[in-house]
Amino acid sequence: MGYLLFWIEAAVASVLWVALGQALAWRVRRRWWRGWVKFVVWLLVLAPWAVIVAMFCLIEYFVVGGATEPLISAIVAGSVFLVASLALWWRGRARSTTDPQVRRAALWRLGRLAVAMAVALVLTATTYWNLDLAVRQEMTALRSEIGASAVALSPPAVPDAMNAAVLYQQAIDLLSASPSPSTASAQGDAGRDWEDRVANWLGPETGPFDPRDPQMRQFLQGSQGIIGLLREAGQRPGFNAGASYNPPTFDIPIPGLNGYKGLAKLLCLDARVKAADGRYVEAMDDLSASFALSAKFSSEPTLLMCLVSVSMDSLSVRTFQEILGDSTPSKESLERLAIPLDPLATALHRSFQMERLMGLSFFALPGILSGLQDDWGDGRPDADALLVLLVEGPWRVFLWRQDMASYSNHMNPMVDLAGKPYHRARDGWEQAARQLGQKPRTFGWIASCVLPSLNKAALIAAAAQASHRQAELAKAMWLYRLDEGRFPSELSQLVPPYLPAVPVDPFTGQAMKLKADDDGSIIVYSFGEDLDDDGGREYQPGGKAGPGPRDGDVAFVVYRAPAAAAPATGLPRTNPAAAAEAAE
């Protein structure tokens, strides 16, 4: 009702302006000046209507459904105003019946017209203000609701004695501080490049990993106290990095965010060196601490932290695979290895819930477009006020509700999809990706900027889940081999006592695949995003350009056979070419 009243009042005020201008114009004796008065009158009344309709048309063109209701209302109200104004203009230019020498408009009383127009303008502005006030009140209520939901998703408060984040932050501070004499030569100036050094040692750009690198060993020797700190942190039950999620904005700072991945790399580097030295128990303790770090970090409920956790977990899995490929671990060391039970299963859903709240919080901000003031007005207060008046106010009054509803209608299904196993949600993710990528978009104006393309995040998480489950399988298979003298011929032989159940492929919902290559290597694999059985042929990350799923499987080499020997195994040997021919 309020919007109908606003458009009626705006149309009435515009008609009265035209009447006032006509009355003034026909009082001007000179035709040339009279023409200019008419031109200015029509320009000042038509220009705002044209701008309003054009703005809504542009939004509707680029974002289908983004401004349908206000566009129709503006066109109808503008048409009524235009018809009424033309009729009034035609009537005003007619000659008076009492004095044929005078136009009727010249007899209209300017004072009454001016007062009527002023009253109409005040009523229009009051209605606009009330509409804006109602939206701002809804924003306030929405902020309270969002804040409560964000707090519920946040990690619980943890005493410092039980909080692993305290020890992780101490480790980051120690590594970033001035080096001790034992690490000075390895760290360089004030230890600022420790993360780059660890990353280069762990994955050198040229040549294979060298566990005998003297600088690396000196650095690790000087960092054993810090590594002990990280192992202790992995044993602590709680994790709270100290981030405040109320309000849940997209730029929430996480203390030490950049250093956490460096800590995981440090643990994996130390694990590989200790495994190369035959110190398998200590190597598995490092890997346990690395897995614990990624699992604890996944409790932070944002998509960024979830993806960082995925990266750290994948690093731990790859390190475990490299250790198994380079040596034969002892049973004691494998029993010490603690691999958390699939922390990403709940982390993705929780991060999508927070992502939804962040988007809604963007809509609930009182100055949603004020951040653009540097671009629009160089940060001047008058420019900021002009921005709010000309852009933010109309958007809030006419577009806010349907824009926010559009965001919720598209984001809520994504949150539901994130809570399902990927193989059950795959079709939904693909449909959501098509909707997000289509042109023109079918959701609101601001929503089109806020809604991210989240299908890729779900794919990354599914691949990481597959790798994590394969690491659990690899541990169980090696324990089986150390007990039985051979690897199992079927994964079901691990259930029990090594596993409660055979891990499921996140992409298919079926059990993981097991294969023995012709050279004796043992591989467990998932079909991957292309859903094809490629016989454990792993795809290269980033190796495929263009649309469509990447070709290949998500694979884990449980045993890499030496060139001249093969392990004792009950598995049939698989010829990849024959398998592909049989599949066809």
**CATH code of residue 573:** 3.30.700
**Cα→Cα distances 256→57, 297, 551, 565, Å:** 46, 12, 36, 47
Q: What is the mean pLDDT of the segment spanning 41-45?
A: 89
Tell me which range, 64-68, 334-338, 374-378, is most confidently predicted by mean pLDDT.
334-338
Residue 459 inside a domain? The answer is no
Task: Give the pLDDT band of residue 569 (cuts 50, 70, 90).
Answer: very low
| Amino acid identity, position 162 | M
For 484-508, the three-class secondary structure string (H helix, E strand, C coil) is HCCECCCHHHHCCCCCCCCCECCCC
Q: Who has greater pLDDT, 3 or 421?
A: 421
Cβ atoms 218, 185 nearer than 8 A:
yes
Instruction: Classify strands 513-516 and 554-559 as parallel, antiparallel or unpaired.
Output: unpaired
- What is the tens place of the pLDDT at every residue in 233-274? 999 999 998 888 888 887 777 766 778 999 999 999 999 999
Q: Number of H helices and number of E strands within the chain?
A: 22, 3
Q: Does 295 share its domain with 226?
A: yes
Q: Among residues 324, 339, 242, which one has the least CA distance to residue 294?
A: 339
267 and 377 assigned to the same domain: no
- pLDDT score at 451: 64
* 186 and 230 both lie in a single domain: yes
CA 465 → CA 253, 314, 427, 458, 462, distances in Å? Answer: 27, 9, 19, 10, 5
Mean pLDDT value of segment 22-34:
83
SS (HEC) of 205-232 = CCCCCCCCCHHHHHHHHHCHHHHHHHHH
Give pLDDT, residue 41: 87
Number of domains the chain is built from: 4
Q: What is the pLDDT of residue 442?
A: 59
**Nearest-angstrom CA–CA distance, 402 and 63:** 12
Whether 399 is in a domain gets the answer no
pLDDT at site 535: 83
Rounded CA separation 438/446 (Å): 16
One-letter amino acid for residue 421 of the chain? P
Mean pLDDT is lowest, of 116-130, 423-437, 499-513, for 423-437
Do 197 and 282 fall into the same domain?
yes
**Do 148 and 162 sit in the same domain of this protein?**
no
| pLDDT higher than threshold 50 for residue 560 | yes
CA 28: distance to chain centroid?
64
Report the distance separating Cα 355 and Cα 287, nearest Å: 30
The set of residues, in sequence order, having a beta carbon less than 8 Å from that of 51 and lying 6+ positions away, is none
Q: What is the pLDDT of residues 95-138, one digit of tens each?
A: 877 777 788 878 888 889 899 999 999 999 999 999 989 998 99
DSSP-assigned states of every residue in 335-402: HH----S-THHHHHHHHHHHHHHHHHHHHH-TTTTGGGHHHHHTT-HHHHHHHIIIIIHHIIIIIHHH
The pLDDT of residue 186 is 42
pLDDT at 462: 92
* 206 part of a folded domain: yes
The pLDDT assigned to 220 comes to: 93
Domain of residue 475: give its range: 464-584
442 plus 506 within the same structural domain: no
pLDDT band at 185 (very low <50, low <70, confident <90, very high): very low
For all residues of the chain together, what is the average pLDDT? 82
Instruction: Mark out the alpha helices in 208-302 (DSSP H runs).
Output: 214-222, 224-235, 257-276, 280-297
Q: How far is CA 197 from CA 227, 228, 260, in A?
A: 16, 20, 15
> Which region, left, alpha or beta, applies to residue 488 given φ > 0 means left and ψ of -120 to 50 means alpha?
beta
* Whole-angstrom distance, CA of residue 143 vs CA of residue 417: 25
At 331 the pLDDT is 92
- d(Cα 314, Cα 464) in Å, to the nearest integer? 6
Whether 298 is in a domain gets the answer yes
Is residue 146 located within the same domain as residue 162?
no
Which residue, 340, 362, 381, sits at the end of a domain? Answer: 340
User: What is the pTM assigned to this prediction?
Assistant: 0.81
Whether residues 315 and 168 share a domain: the answer is yes
Residue 88 belongs to a domain = yes
